[in-house]
Structure 1
Amino acid sequence: MTLVLGLTGGIATGKSTADNFFKKHHIPIVDSDKIAHHIYDPGKQGYNEVVTEFSSAILDSDKKINRKRLGEIVFHNPQKMQRLDEITHPLIYQEVVNKLNKYREQAEKIVVFDAPLLYETGGQRLCDFVLVISLPESLQLKRLMERNNLTESQAQARIDSQMPLAKKIAKADFVVDNTGTIDELEEKLKEILLKVEAEG
């Protein structure tokens, strides 16, 4: 049986660092962000529907979707964010299901499903367990501003567009605080991996 470990948290809380840990342990990862990037590829259904909805103003000179420009539109407008979600989430969800089924056919013991919006999109239904990577919001804001070169208001808008971290923590099977070093995070993840493996 293949166990699916959902990995979520807030933006800039350290999911990518957790992904690197799982990769080192040869655990396959289904990354919803990477899938989301691909549905924006020119010619794809997602690309066509998003451009139709938000106009060619979101395109670069090479006709690719400028995600930062699109973000500036939706992160400050809940209705537009909802419309973008209505277009993209079903496409992402189906591709996630396809990838998980592929790993089940390969009889993988554990697969990590990395989804920043796991609970917002109902993705937890695909998981046996959910792990949340958490940070105090002040530190999350600081890391996001530094990582993405954003102003405080831009970073705050991105944080506010997601479900509050406290709600995700309340729903999760496992919670890891990521205020320490990478080594400390990896030690905590090792313990969780052992618990999940024991269920297999």
Structure 2
Amino acid sequence: MKVWGLTGGIGMGKSTAANTFRRLGVPVFDADAAVHRLQGPNGAAVRPIAAAFPGTTCMTPRGPKVDREALRRAVLGNDPADNAALRRLEAIVHPLVRAAERRFLAAARRRGARLTVLDIPLLFETGGERRVDEVVVVTAPAAIQRARVLRRPGMTEDRLRAILARQVPDALKRRRADHLIHTGLSRHHAQRAVRRLVRGGASGPGGKALPSPQTPHPPGT
């Protein structure tokens, strides 16, 4: 079974790509959704997060869950440059997500899947590229990315800068990709690129990116 890693910076259109893979019958593991389940009512991450970050959980009719906004403030609110709290949180969450990922892959193998996709926003940041056969990077021009993200409720310029500071730059992601999906033109254009990949593993020279000359990035970026 071939395993592809799907990644891209915030606002790059990764959800569109992941949903297209699903519609084409490819099993997709959603790392963000796994985190939400782990931090949801009675999730496996709730108790250790409560111990590490007091005051970041709350009670619901279905049991205790993480208050994600309170956790965000506890981890990033005082000094975004101080990574100690973030590393503490990652030490709790990442092993649990990896365990969920292994269960997903085992189930896909049992079903006889020929291709699976791991949708992991921080694939490169966490060394996840070593666990996959090929990496698919979703990309768009920076101006489009910024406009998309700032339309999200509660998003600010400062918050966006803090998020981007913790992510591998898009230019470096593109250089490390085996395949690129450009989303700067339209949703339909991106969906066609995913379909081409799934149909036959189509690629450019050397097994690298599917270029999109209509959506160029400036040289050297």
1:71 maps to which residue?
72
1:18 maps to which residue?
17
Query: Within 2, Cα distance between the matches of 1:176 and 1:158?
Result: 22
Query: Within 2, Cα distance between the matches of 1:163 and 1:71?
Result: 20
1:178 to 177, 183, 186: 183
Residue 197 of structure 1: how far off its partner (Å): 7.8
1:183–1:162 CA distance, 2 compared to 1 (3 A):
same
Query: Within 1, Cα distance between the matches of 2:188 and 2:135?
Result: 21
Name the TM-score, length of structure 2 as normaliser: 0.81
Query: Within 1, Cα distance between the matches of 2:200 and 2:74?
Result: 42
Counterpart check, 1:139 vs 2:140: no
Query: Within 1, Cα distance between the matches of 2:42 and 2:19?
Result: 31
2:157 maps to which residue?
152
Aligned residues between the structures: 197
Three-state SS of the structure 2 residue aligned to 1:131 is strand
Residue 71 of structure 1: how far off its partner (Å): 2.0
Three-state SS of the structure 2 residue aligned to 1:188 is helix
Larger radius of gyration: 2
Name the TM-score, length of structure 1 as normaliser: 0.89
Three-state SS of the structure 1 residue aligned to 2:45 is helix
Residue 61 of structure 1: how far off its partner (Å): 5.5
Greater helix proportion:
1
Amino acid at match of 2:14: K
Amino acid at match of 2:156: T
RMSD: 2.0
Conserved? CA contact 1:39–1:45, under 8 Å: yes
Structure 2: give runs of 5+ residues left out of the alignment. Answer: 208-221
1:185–1:92 CA distance, 2 compared to 1 (3 A):
same
1:102 maps to which residue?
107
Query: Within 2, Cα distance between the matches of 1:12 and 1:67?
Result: 20
Residue 168 of structure 1: how far off its partner (Å): 1.7
Three-state SS of the structure 2 residue aligned to 1:17 is helix
